[in-house]
Structure 1
């Protein structure tokens, strides 16, 4: 009997008593593993061998993982510093503990994100409390990292711990399907009776067509079930994909995009919004102030009008806040807590000149807040900012805009709840129903800009405005229950590789 050369080689190398792996057969025959695999499947189909498969998983430390074996996990170092600072008895200023821990750069965010997750303590209003009963010295993730560094196997490690280390990019998981080949009785019989090598070719060449040789050769059969090598290329992050989709929708609704600085004067971020300077959201607990010189490029006449609105209100019946107002504070630089700073720049005419009604503008950009990390809050996230300037606008126009916008993403169950904002009246929050848990989650805030906001800016018509959370939209679209799965150091890499934005 004649068989292709690769099949003959595999038959001769295989054993009837012991299963031989594809790798061992490739080494013995000198053939490529994929060639041996194809030959083995062809022989299996003819009944001459059996092919058994098993999944093998190996774990390997990344460079970052090796560094943490030496230095310790950031959250463990933070916990030790907290214990030393007495945080097991009374909460301690978070900055004090971070300074004592020696953490810096991205390690700070990593430590804060995992400190609460592991039950080492809590963070509230800038103060850190440590749990005296926490066992950071026997941290399961640290134990696995040390085991891998020692070259030992981690088969007994908790699967959840291994998954967490992989998601943190401290460990790489290598999964492989190992195939083993064993001769059947028919295969042994075939070898005993004798098998010859058939002359086969695996491709048709121009020379064969020219010479006519193709009529006399035997072509190798192709196994369409054989595994192809996995190729992973880069792709756009799902948040960026969703942001691009949001931009397409809003442009289709007639909006233009705004652009502006991430670090801006408090004047644009809060003062123009009629936010009092002693408002809790403007303290160092909630904003990220930058130690840089104050901004100079702010129109003096606009500063005067905004200050007057804060002190005295607007109109004959206006009444200001009767609270301190400092131009130095207004010019101080901070990371924007919302992209409404862009709206103020555009509505005032400072960015693109005076605007005539009607106008529609939007932005989908990152903002920064000193929030406590949890499944729905991050220190930085994306806000969908938007506003419409026109005569005789109403809340019904605003609600209708939301219904049209969210319908583009298959979301039709939107609920509204009255709310108070210093800068809009009336105001309301938006809620959407989570597709998996069924609970209502807040997805945005909106309202009609007050006269105290518009008059200093020189706007004489109505303006309806909103700030929506891009990550919350993602939760409603795909059923994520923790935005840290798609954003930050705890991201689920497999999920990010596989999920595509719906169009």
Structure 2
């Protein structure tokens, strides 16, 4: 049997009893891993090798992850500075604590966004309160960073690794690992003897000019061989910015409001006591949808809002003296602002009755007939 040189070397290096990975064989042969992979598939097609495949995950720290491994996670540095300033006993002004951390720029935002999320304490009214219980706890995210640096990241809690990846502190990659063993046919072929066949992988100008190409054997081209995976697209910069703002606000103890993009005019305008004949409620400024009216508007709240529109509030109230109808209030539009979410939460519709003080925010899409400029994206 005649085989190309790489295939012969691979066949002789493989074992019938001990599986070897393609990477191990490539290192042993001093050959290009891609060439060894091609030879592996070709020998497997001939039935001379048995190939077992599995997907392995590997982890590597990013530059930011390396920096935090050396300097400490920003939220931990904020916690330690807060405790040194006495915030584990009494609230301490946030500016004083941040000044003691040595953090600046984006690192301050990161520290603030993760401080409360990770249970290290609270930020209330511009003051920091450190949780004394957090001092005695090990830090799973710091431990995972160290483990990834040591090459044992796969042993860590998957949830912790997911958080570190979402923070941009580590990169995760999947690799197909192929283990190779000699098949019975491969053992028989080696026992009978395998010779090296002279093959070439590409035609050269010299071959063409000399006519040598007529007499050489060409290596087969495997169109099924693995190719590098190229991922397209990335998260839009505005979405990245919105997510960063959300992280900071959540870390400071705020909660995010959620609600429909298409909502009743009641929540979008009427609850804000904007008259139904106001110019800003025309089709020039908001987008009406050709769908059935929203039936879920609370009847008692609808009546109370209508009463204020018509008659005002208190003895001196006079109302708007303008048309008002529940048909308009229940019409569905695309929200032009996220204050409609505030109305849902303040009324108790989106959440239970709220006891002040409460901290809520929304950084989400709205739909308006605005001219695009740097302040309207």
Deviation at 1:197, TM superposition (A): 2.3
For residues 137 and 39 of structure 1, the distance between their equivalents in structure 2, rounded to whole angstroms, comes to 52
Give ranges in structure 2 of 5+ residues lacking alignment.
Answer: 258-277, 306-319, 341-361, 368-377
Matches within 5 A, 1:219-230: 219-230=218-229
* Aligned with residue 395 of structure 1, among 258, 281, 303: 281
For residues 245 and 145 of structure 2, the distance between their equivalents in structure 1, rounded to whole angstroms, comes to 34
For residues 29 and 152 of structure 1, the distance between their equivalents in structure 2, rounded to whole angstroms, comes to 25
Name the TM-score, length of structure 1 as normaliser: 0.48
Aligned length: 297
Matches within 5 A, 1:114-193: 114-135=114-135, 137-148=137-148, 151=150, 153-193=152-192
For residues 5 and 28 of structure 1, the distance between their equivalents in structure 2, rounded to whole angstroms, comes to 15
The structure, 1 or 2, with the larger RCO (C-alpha pairs under 8 Å, 6+ apart) is 2
Deviation at 1:14, TM superposition (A): 1.1
For residues 97 and 55 of structure 2, the distance between their equivalents in structure 1, rounded to whole angstroms, comes to 45
For the Cα contact (< 8 Å) 2:26–2:36, is it kept in 1?
yes
Aligned to 2:5: 5
Matches within 5 A, 1:74-473: 74-135=74-135, 137-148=137-148, 151=150, 153-205=152-204, 213-230=212-229, 237-239=235-237, 373=251, 376=256, 393=279, 395-398=281-284, 400-401=286-287, 444=338, 471-472=364-365
Alignment RMSD (CA, Å): 4.7
Deviation at 1:203, TM superposition (A): 2.7
> Aligned to 2:365, what secondary structure does the other structure show?
helix
For residues 43 and 241 of structure 1, the distance between their equivalents in structure 2, rounded to whole angstroms, comes to 49
For the Cα contact (< 8 Å) 1:54–1:179, is it kept in 2?
yes
For residues 63 and 24 of structure 1, the distance between their equivalents in structure 2, rounded to whole angstroms, comes to 29
For residues 105 and 238 of structure 1, the distance between their equivalents in structure 2, rounded to whole angstroms, comes to 22
Deviation at 1:45, TM superposition (A): 1.5
Query: Taking structure 1 as reference, are residues 223 and 148 closer, same or farther at Cα in structure 2, changes over 3 Å only?
Result: same
Deviation at 1:375, TM superposition (A): 7.0
Query: Taking structure 1 as reference, are residues 371 and 137 closer, same or farther at Cα in structure 2, changes over 3 Å only?
Result: closer
Give ranges in structure 1 of 5+ residues lacking alignment.
Answer: 244-365, 378-391, 405-412, 419-424, 434-440, 447-468, 475-503
Name the TM-score, length of structure 2 as normaliser: 0.62
Aligned to 2:353: none
Deviation at 1:16, TM superposition (A): 1.1
Query: Taking structure 1 as reference, are residues 242 and 64 closer, same or farther at Cα in structure 2, changes over 3 Å only?
Result: closer
Aligned to 1:68: 68
For residues 119 and 245 of structure 2, the distance between their equivalents in structure 1, rounded to whole angstroms, comes to 28
For the Cα contact (< 8 Å) 2:10–2:25, is it kept in 1?
yes
For the Cα contact (< 8 Å) 1:75–1:115, is it kept in 2?
yes
> Aligned to 2:180, what secondary structure does the other structure show?
strand
The Cα offsets for residues 352-409 of structure 1, whole Å up to 9 and x where unpaired, read as xxxxxxxxxxxxxx999x95555749xxxxxxxxxxxxxx9451324654769xxxxx
For residues 181 and 471 of structure 1, the distance between their equivalents in structure 2, rounded to whole angstroms, comes to 52
Query: Taking structure 1 as reference, are residues 138 and 27 closer, same or farther at Cα in structure 2, changes over 3 Å only?
Result: closer
More strand by share: 1
For residues 166 and 71 of structure 1, the distance between their equivalents in structure 2, rounded to whole angstroms, comes to 18
